[in-house]
Amino acid sequence: MATSETFIHPSFAFLAAALILPLVRGSAVWRKVVLLLPPVIAVYAAFTNPMGEHLHLTWLGQTLTLGRLDALSGLFVQVFSIMSLAGLVFSLHVDDPAQHASALLYVAGGLGAVLAGDYLTLFVCWEMMAVGSSFLVFFNRTRESVLAAFRYFLYHIFGGLFLLAGLVLRHQDLGTFAFTALPGLTQGTAEFYDWLILIGFCVNAAVVPLHAWLPDAYPRGTVTGSVFMCAYTTKTAVYVLMRGFAGWEILAAAGTVMAVYGVLYASMENNARRILSYHIVSQVGYMVAGIGVGTAMTLNGAAAHAYAHILYKGLLFMSAGAVLYSAGTAKLDELGGLAGRLPWVMILYMVAALSISGFPIFNGFISKTMTIAGAAEDHRTLVALGLELAAVGTFISVGLKLPYFAFWGGRPLDMKRELKPLPPNMYAGMAILALLCAAQGLYPDMLYRYLPVAMTEANRNLYRPWETWNVLQALMLLGFSGLAFCLMKNVIAPHKALNLDFDWFYRLLGRACEALIFKPCAGLDGFWTNVYETVGLRFLKIYAAFTVFFDRWIIDGLVDNAAYGVRGLGRLGAGLQSGRLQQYLAMMMTFLAVILALVWFS
């Protein structure tokens, strides 16, 4: 096992930059250096760090492992680091230290979570991601984004509490916080705390029906913030599910539902970033389903798809963000005819759109089809069919609908709309991810060599995406999807209405709380106000009159008059102090006469 001294923890660089960046004043060059140095360090560490457990820390009697690097965590560290570099290059033009610091904190949390060897470290990094990503929504600084950030934060606190309760109960039962799947742990043998932990993970994975936070918050984040958010939260959840719950049948069913559900809602949406948000739900569904099936091929497929998804989904959000930045809107019914004015954005977007659709040449083709093939080989027919159906919807909504209405839309070249020029760094960030999408598609071994389960005959997980049948199958599916779009183009045309998701139930719960709690409390408050006005005020008036009487006749009449009397006696005594002996003798004689008279007559 390698020593800790040879291990570079990438999260530390991001945390340091998040603390330093707000203090950097003056030169923009130094701010850019501070921004780009952590991802460069992270990419270097991702390819050079030794395998093993590193950076052990004893805290409150518990041994924490900050750096567990194996094939699974190494894969996610690698793609997280690459995505951080592309994302920060894309955001170099942003002059907002708070927004950059939030992104750095968020990335640090994601990298820390996948390297965590124990549940306590995982939980701290888990909440670090929640805080950082909430601010990436908040710093868009609109009323909608502030409210969405608040809802987002509450939802992730809710998920974090499930995780915390589960890990505490697990420690009470097993006496350890080690983040490992217990031998023989299955869905049938799971304890109550395992289910609590699973629920906490599923919140971040946006498993239906725990997913409504994602399409609510991601479209309202900052242009650059949503690029980061699409990569880390859900994929960190995929990692922990793969680490702790592989082979759980409930995940296979949940993932299939996610895949289909996400594309159905994406097909109805109008906002480009909301369409892409629903496709995160759908594409993560492929990964969750692969984890649930639990074979060597589907686990590799889930890992490969997570890697590919981060690259092409980041590029999709960059492209949609570039349109929003330039045109001022991401609503499809307000766009159209932009292909001639933003040609490079259109080309780079199509690279990502064809990648997510599984088009041969691009990386989605070599990852998505592996999961579907693995499910079919394991005789999970419904899972395989559900994922194929989702693939059709993906190409229709992301590969055809979105670019058609945003860049063409059947309209002439739109020369009237004023477009804001895109800074070169935005194109550079998009180009990095586009090149990787194409390179991995053409040379699958660039990705396959890093998969967690070695691809061998013995493991029964050999997959060759470029075999003739796989290519023909993908092209036929895409061709059928294109035909479906031509027939349904008018049906799925963008519209202004907001499509309510499971947040309808949350709104219903809110109305129920209003009816059962807030309105009764408001009624009680109104009743008490009336009682106070009719009874309380009269009592206060009577009490006030009594205090006036008491002050005037008791305080003023007795206390004040006694004081006046003492003052008079004092003045009389002072007047008698004349200093003449004769007067003092006369006074003494008079005093004795009075005393004798009193004694005599008594």
Written in H, E and C, the secondary structure of 14-65 is: HHHHHHHHHHCCCCHHHHHHHHHHHHHHHHHHHHHCCCEEEEEEEECCEEEE
* pLDDT at 184 (0 to 100): 77
498 Ramachandran zone, left/alpha/beta (phi>0; psi -120 to 50): beta
Other beta carbons within 10 Å of 492:
18
Question: Looking at per-residue confidence, does 593 or 126 come out higher?
Answer: 126
**Do 104 and 126 share a domain, yes or no?**
yes
Q: How far apart are CA 395 and CA 379, in angstroms?
A: 25
Q: Is pLDDT at 415 greater than 70 in this prediction?
A: no
How far apart are the C-alpha atoms of 370 and 360, rounded to whole Å? 13
Q: Angle at Cα 11 formed by Cα 217 and Cα 434, nearest 5°?
A: 60
Identify the band that residue 185 occupies on the pLDDT scale cut at 50, 70 and 90: confident
AA letter at 373: A
| Domain annotation covers residue 233 | no
Same structural domain, 90 and 168: yes
For range 530-540, the mean pLDDT:
76
- pLDDT over threshold 80, residue 486: yes
At position 404, the amino acid (one-letter code) is: Y
pLDDT band at 3 (very low <50, low <70, confident <90, very high): very low
CA–CA separation, 474 and 468 (whole Å)? 10
Please tell me what DSSP assigns to residue 270. Answer: -
Per-residue pLDDT at 402 exceeds 60: yes
Q: Does 500 reside within a domain?
A: no
Tokens 């502030």 sit at which residue? 146
The answer to whether position 234 is within a domain reads no
> Domain boundary residue among 495, 520, 555?
495
| Cβ neighbours of residue 309 closer than 8 Å, sequence gap 6 or more | 235, 283, 284, 287, 356, 364, 367
- Confidence at 468, pLDDT banded by 50, 70, 90: confident
* The pLDDT of residue 62: 83
Asked if residues 298 and 278 have their Cβ atoms less than 8 Å apart, the reply is no
Q: Tell me which of 46-60, 114-128, 533-547 is least confident.
A: 533-547
What is the DSSP annotation of 434-450? HHHHHHHHH-THHHHTT
* Cβ neighbours for 155, distance < 8 A, ≥ 6 positions apart: 203, 212, 213
Q: Which of 266, 499, 284, 518 is nearest to 399 (CA)?
A: 266
Q: Are residues 115 and 166 in the same domain?
A: yes
Alpha helices in 56-191 (DSSP H): 71-90, 97-115, 119-138, 143-174
Answer yes or no: do 183 and 263 share one domain. Answer: no
Output 223 or 573, whichever has higher pLDDT.
223
Above pLDDT 70, what percent of the chain?
Answer: 93
- Report the C-alpha gap between 374 and 303 in whole angstroms: 13
Mean confidence (pLDDT) of the chain:
87
**What range defines the domain where residue 446 resides?**
246-495
Same domain, 273 and 354: yes
- pLDDT at residue 10, rounded to an integer: 95
Give the end of a domain, one of 174, 193, 228: 228
Which of residues 495, 518, 549 is at a domain's end? Answer: 495
Within-domain flag for 236: no
For 389, the token pair is: 């159906």
Calpha distance 57→52 (Å, rounded): 15
**Cα(112)–Cα(14) distance, integer angstroms:** 10
pLDDT over 90 percentage in the chain = 53
Choice among 130-134, 278-282, 419-423, 524-528 with the minimum mean pLDDT: 524-528
Residue 344 has pLDDT above 90, yes or no: yes
Would the pLDDT of 101 be above 60? yes
* Alpha helices (runs of H) in 218-295, residue ranges in sequence order: 225-244, 249-268, 272-293
Q: What integer is the mean pLDDT of 3-30? A: 84
pLDDT mean over 105-126: 95
502 in any annotated domain = no
| 186 close to 247: Cβ distance less than 8 angstroms | yes
Residue 44 Cα distances to 14, 108, 112, 258, 512, angstroms? 14, 15, 16, 35, 53
Does residue 261 share a domain with residue 199? no
- Asked whether residue 398 is assigned to any structural domain, the reply reads yes
Please check whether residues 470 and 548 belong to one and the same domain: no
Q: Is residue 544 part of a domain?
A: yes
Q: What is the pLDDT of residue 520?
A: 83
Cβ–Cβ < 8 Å for 276, 230: yes
Q: Residues 412, 459: one domain?
A: yes
Averaged pLDDT for residues 489-503: 74
- Cα torsion angle, 136, 199, 273, 242, sign: positive
Q: Give the Cα separation of 241 and 501 in Å (integer).
A: 25
Lowest mean per-residue pLDDT among 278-287, 387-396, 473-482, 504-513: 504-513
**Contact by Cβ (8 Å): 45, 67:** no
Q: Name the pLDDT band for 575 (thresholds 50, 70, 90).
A: low
Residues 200 and 60 in one domain: yes
Mean pLDDT of 117-143: 94
Least confident of 63-77, 209-223, 529-543: 529-543
**Tokens, residue 494:** 């963008």
How many CB atoms lie under 10 A from the CB of residue 512?
10
pLDDT mean over 565-571:
73
pLDDT of residue 467: 86
Q: Which residue has the tokens 């229709």?
A: 396
Residue 414 has pLDDT above 70, yes or no: no
Q: Please report which helix (H) or strand (E) contains residue 550, including its range.
A: none
Q: How many domains does the chain have?
A: 3
On whether both 371 and 447 belong to a single domain, the answer is yes
What pLDDT does residue 84 have? 96
Residues 203 and 340 occupy one common structural domain: no
Identify whether 137 is part of a domain. Answer: yes
Residues 201 and 292 in one domain: no
HSE on the CB side for 427, CA within 13 Å? 11
Q: Which tens digits make up the pLDDT trace of 43-62?
A: 999 999 999 999 988 887 78
